[in-house]
Structures are given as C-alpha cells and as structure tokens.
Amino acid sequence: MTTDKGDWKARAAAYKQSILDAIPPEWRVDESVLAGLKPGSEVRFVAQQTILTKDEIHLLARDATTLAADIAAGRFTAVATATAYAKSAAVAHQVTNCLMDFFPDEALARAKELDEYYAKNGKTVGPLHGVPVSVKDMVAVKGRRMTAGFLAIAEGPYGVSADDATLVAALRAAGAVFYCKTTNPQAIMHLETDSFLGPTTNPLNTALTCGGSSGGEAALMAAGAAVLGIGTDIGGSIRNPCANCGLYGFKPTAARLPRGGMMGGMPHQESIVGATGPQTVSARDMRLFIETVLASEPWRIDPGCVGMPWKQTQGWRYGGAKPRVGVMWDDGLVSLQPPMKRALREAVDKLKAAGFDLVDVAPYKSKEAWDLINTLYFTDGGKRVRDLCAETGEPILPLTQWVMQGAREIDATELRELVKTRDGFRAAYNQYWNEQKIDVLLCAPGYGTAQPLGTTKYWNYTSFFNLVDYPAGVFPASVVKPEEDRKEEKKAFITDMDRYCSEIYDPKVFWNAPVGLQVVGQRWDDEATLEALTLISKVVTA
C-alpha cells in the first residue's frame, strides 16, 4: 500500500526498474546502442540488429494466422516462438518504454506444456496453440500486474490480478501464450500513452507518440515484438494507436466481445461503454481473434456480452459484389493535416478504379457529438482521477487535465436526461446513415498521423463512433511523404482546435509516420464492417 506521498517518484522509478530487471542480461541492448538512438529515430529494427538469430527473424516475419498454421504443422515449436517474441519484446521495451509487466519465464513454461501436449497427442489444444498474445495493462491476467495508469492502483489491492479477464481466459483456452502486458496512459483517457511510468514512443519515429490509450500494444507490435494484441476502445483507443503505428485494429459494437475483468478510467459507468478488440498485423488476424473469442460463448460468463456468435456475411445491403462506400472527407470541425488528406484522396481514387460505388457523406452534428461524449466520460467530475493521484502524490498529467477540463459531477436526474439525449442522438444518426444508402463509411481516424509527444488533443474522428456505438476499424494506407505533404498556408480556420491542429504540423517532424484510414459500419454489423475493411484495405494497399 502507499506510504509517504513525497516519495512517489522513487516508487515509480522502482516499479520501472522492476520491469527492466525481468529482462535477462543476454537480452539487454548495449548502452552505446541506446545512447545513439536520438529522438526521431526509427527503432523497430533494433532487435534484429542486436540479439535475434536469423531463424528468429524468419519466425517473426508472419501474421498470427500463418504462425498458428505453422505451429500446428510442426514447423515451429511453441517454445521457439515464445522465445523469439519475448526477446523482441525485451528490446522493444528498452527503445520505446512499452511494457508495464514482463514474464518470459511464465510464457516459456506454458509453451513447453503446449509442445509436450502436441508431441503426445499429435494435435493442438486450439486455434491459437503457441501463438503469443500481448495484453493491455487494464486487462486482467491472473497473477500479473495492473496499474490502469496510476501508481495508487499498482500499489493497491488490484495491483496483481486474481483471475484472468473473460477474454483472456478464452484466448488462453485456445492455446494463446501470454508473455507481457503493455502500457496505457494515466486515466486511460489520452490518445497518447504517458503515466507514472513515463511516455511510450512510436518505434517508427520516437519523436512522435504511439497513440493511446492502447499505445503500448501498438508500439510493441510496430517494433515487431507482438503478433496479436488485446486492446480496448472508449474514444479511439484501439484505432488511434493502430493507425499511428501502421497496424490493423478493430473496435466492435461494445457488447460483442466480453469486458469482464477490465479496469477502465471510469469503472462501471454505462453512459459511454468501452469495447474490447484486436490489434493485429493483418486484416485476417482480426477475424481470427474475434472468432476465437466468440467460439467460447463468453456471454455465458460475462453479463455485459451479447449472445451473438460470429456469422458469415450475407451480401451487402446496398452494394452488389462490393459494399457501397460513403466517404466523409472531414468532420466539419477540424480539417485534415496534409498526409491524411492525401491518403484519403488516394484511397478513394484506387477504390473508384477497382469498381467500388462511392458517395460523399457530410459529417453529422460533430459539435453536438463532441460536447455530449465529453460530458458523459467523467460523470463524477474527475473525482476518481484526482483521488487516485492524491493518494500517492502523483501529479495529474497535462493531457489528463486537458481531457477533464469542464468535467463536472452529474447527479442521477441529470445523467438520466443525458442518456436520453445520447439515445436520441443515436436514433437520429441511424436515420441519417440509412438515408445515405451506404454499407460502410470510409474516413480518417483522426486529423493527422501520430503527433509530437504531449500534443494530441482532438478525438472526434474516432469518439463519434463510440457515442453511436458503431463498429469501426483501421488499416495502414500510406506513410508521410515530406516532399508531397507540405504544410498548407491557411489563413482561415473552422475552429480554434482546427487552428491548433493545422499549425502543429511539420512534415520534417512527422517523417516516417504511418497514415491509417478508418472503415465504419452500423451497430451490430460487425461482420460486414470487418469484411468491408478487408476488401477496401486490399485495394488501397495493393
């Protein structure tokens, strides 16, 4: 438990050191190598350049679907796989600060059990036999640490989880091997990842954020040290970091996947419900993740999970062989930075050339949506955050202060009226969507790519779809091209936030940043949304 508030820095430093202490000496990166990595460096190949063998590099160069098939065919053992990913994760943490718990010995012991089972029975225990899975901090793994971004929680009764989260249990039963947990931000409410553990950086450009709040997952994966990750999303927390790091990520309709055993920024509040979902290196891996979880029928355990098995897509409501795609060019409040604008334009051109039917769709009441969801996030006025920080003396970070500005405690009567307003907004947006006669919407997942550390302050491109509870996913579409993506000389701005987001852009600073795009479908149409994302991403990335 916490003691003297004045020593919070020392206790935070000790916690950070314990993560490093879990890394075997032979997996440490030489100090001279680390010293040569300046801000703005690309660090995703450091493991390959230092401690990985050629065989391990070969093993890591595949998605989860292929890896699972290779293990099932006996081409790789679970132990060899766990070793390669644990070594890579150790290096990824040293160059990006992406881990908050690391347990390679536990992973290798489980991998050994799986190999023995395979040798004895000639088959796998399930579809993820031997596949390493990384887990976001706030998701419980039995016997492992949890902080939810606060030192007080790390030191309190929830600092070590008594049981697996429902989703973790489902993946474990399918053969998954857990080897690390990854960082999330203070309050789990930033589109960056910073807490008492310090900031997590983007392995493609360490001057930029990895995104958040599932940012540690994205940084780990972009560094080549994860192949299948568990994220959560209440305002963009899967989609933003995956877009920032050149990955695939999917936020399902909130109740499609189980949420039991997770500690969010505002536990048990129902005004805006977060979703759990996959963070992956391929589109098909998202389906593998979801199908595996739902095959366990988690709704029989988790009362918050709806009883809907994953089903095959039965054609398109408006499209023919391909979905009819709406295109939203911006949200009407904040315009897109040049790389995002270019990537969306190029994607539309490619889809038209491939025979997709596309139609422009105007943004719907973005200001009303942004104001409403921000009111519904912190219905206690930020009291829980302030209390947790006060318990240890840990400071409230600037981005936490920003997201809570204007937050106020809301009584039951007002909350009931706000939920009524939320439901009315959802109904009106359903009608608006239906009037567009589209199967899915293609849009940006944010006003830009990964931003400089400490500067990301606008979420409406993703949080809008949390408000209406629509499934949405992201895929990598391009990368910043400084010569093409020059800064625009704008004289007029839509809003003050538009000015802020426009003026912060500098193509030299944003070098090598991935550009992701977002595909959105209607509530409960998760299967069709993921299928459309898969089809669209194949065309755009070809």
| Binding-site entries for substrate | 188, 213, 234-237
Q: Rounded to the nearest 10 degrees, what angle do helices 78-96 and 104-121 cross at?
A: 160
Question: Does residue 335 carry a catalytic annotation?
Answer: no
**Whole-number Å distance between alpha carbons of 222 and 206:** 12
**Whole-number Å distance between alpha carbons of 426 and 442:** 19
Burial class (CB in 10 A: 0-12, 13-18, 19+), 21: exposed
Question: Does residue 311 carry a catalytic annotation?
Answer: no
Given 88, 134, 237, 502, the catalytic residue? 237
Q: What are phi and psi of 510, to 5 degrees?
A: -85, 10
Decide if 140 contacts 218 (C-beta within 8 A).
no
> Count of alpha carbons within 13 Å of 287, Cβ hemisphere only?
16
Given 213, 335, 463, 478, the catalytic residue? 213
DSSP notation for 416-462: HHHHHHHHHHHHHHHHHHHHHT-SEEEE-SSSSSSPBTT-----HHH
Tokens (6 digits) for 203:
């392995």
Question: Does residue 195 carry a catalytic annotation?
Answer: no
Distant-in-sequence, close-in-space partners of 213: CB < 8 Å, separation ≥ 6: 136, 149, 184, 185, 188, 189, 190, 191, 193, 232, 237, 241
Given 87, 134, 136, 463, the catalytic residue? 136
**Whole-number Å distance between alpha carbons of 160 and 142:** 8
DSSP notation for 249-296: EEE--TTSS--TTB--SSTT--SS--EEEEEESSHHHHHHHHHHHHHT
List active site positions: 136, 213, 237
